[in-house]
Amino acid sequence: MSRYVIIGAGAIGGALGGRLTHAGRQSVLVARGDHLRAMRSAGLRLRTPDEDVKIPVSAVPGPDDLELAPDDVLVVATKTHQAGDALTAWADAPVHSDGRVIGTAGENLPIFMALNGVASEGLALRYFDRVFGVCVWMPAVHLVPGEVIVRGAPTSGMFHIGRVPADLAGEEDQRLLGRITDDWTAANFDVRLPADVMPWKYRKLISNIGNAFQALVGAGSDVRHLVNAAEGEARAVLDKAGIEYTSDEDEKEARAAGFTMRPVPGVPNDMGGSTWQSLARGTGNVETDYLNGEIALLARRQGVSAPINATMASLVRVAAATGQKPGALSVEELAERLQLS
């Protein structure tokens, strides 16, 4: 039986690790600070449209507090800008078998990159032999230590998973993905195994363009016309770069077969996504450089510009660094900053 080591037990990682533990699968949640202390002392509170449960989870601060084994599976669920530190912390951790060290985690263990953006898989390949991309669709929130809120039902979320690069996938990978499908499905997730996961992650990148807008003007504000402009710019950049992304029709079909968002008792409906949560918690940093900033990067590599996405990346960086909370800008102010008014 595989043991899942969830590196980054926030909204996504906490929900995944908590669900796996609740389903009787072995998992260890890696966290820090008040969140780690809360989980160690009282377990993880998981709130969904249909549940409010306390799950007694195993939680550690890092690789020095865990003896890794050959059947372990590492899952990184940090933000992309935090992934580099996580990878370097775990890549050289020793793996033990029959009382002896057989090598490092980078040499022996598969690692799954369950985070937004498209850059983390390349980062992971610097350190790990077997890297898998995970396209995450899960409306989850983590604002309070020891608590994760998941607003999807009847399943909690959907994962598209595959080896990166796709043409390296072999029989051992297929067996591993089969076990993961069984375990994660038992934990109330929908798992899909496309031939190549990266087009799904690039399509998710387009969807995540809107995270920055929600963070700046607040959840519930009508910024669709601004987001449409930014997404159109992103699609043009990806097309110019010759990067394949899943079609809107295929994404719509997959979403229709998955979860729907429902209210969670006692939880406000205006809580936003990952970037909104970073500003709301006052973390001081955000993942926008790997979302809107990824589009700016790809544009510059093609000798063109992506002014909407580049400006959004800058605005959110400044907002995070200065402690700005969601909703500090009005829609009209943001439109003016983007020269879209």
pLDDT, tens only, 192-210: 999 999 999 999 999 999 9
Q: Which CATH number fits domain 3-196: 3.30.565.10, 3.40.190.10, 3.40.50.720, 1.10.10.10?
A: 3.40.50.720
d(CA 189, CA 233): 32
**Which tokens go with 147?**
């608590």
Q: Are 280 and 325 in contact (CB under 8 A)?
A: yes
DSSP 258: S
Length of the chain: 341
Backbone angles phi and psi of 83, in degrees to 5: -65, -35
- pLDDT number for residue 220: 79
- The amino acid at residue 49 is P
- pLDDT number for residue 268: 87
Q: Domain spans of the chain?
A: 3-196, 203-337
d(CA 167, CA 120): 18
- pLDDT number for residue 66: 97
- What pLDDT digit, counting tens, does each position of 301-330 carry? 999 999 999 999 999 999 999 999 999 999
- pLDDT number for residue 341: 76
Which residues of the chain are under the pLDDT cut of 50?
none
**Which tokens go with 40?**
């160690």
Closest CA to 11 of 108, 150, 126: 150
Q: b/e string for 194-221 if b means 16 or more Cβ within 10 A?
A: bebbbbbbbbbbbbbbbbbbbbbbbbeb
Q: Which residue has the tokens 């799904």?
A: 200
Where are the alpha helices (H) located in 125-246, listed in sequence order? Answer: 171-186, 198-217, 224-241
- pLDDT number for residue 245: 98
Residue 147: count of CB within 10 angstroms of its CB: 18
Element (DSSP H or E) covering residue 279: helix 274-281
Q: Are 161 and 193 in contact (CB under 8 A)?
A: yes
Q: Return the CATH class of domain 203-337.
A: mainly alpha
- The amino acid at residue 89 is A
Instruction: Tell me: cis bond preceding 154? Omega within 30 of 0 counts.
Output: yes
Closest CA to 79 of 142, 25, 165: 142
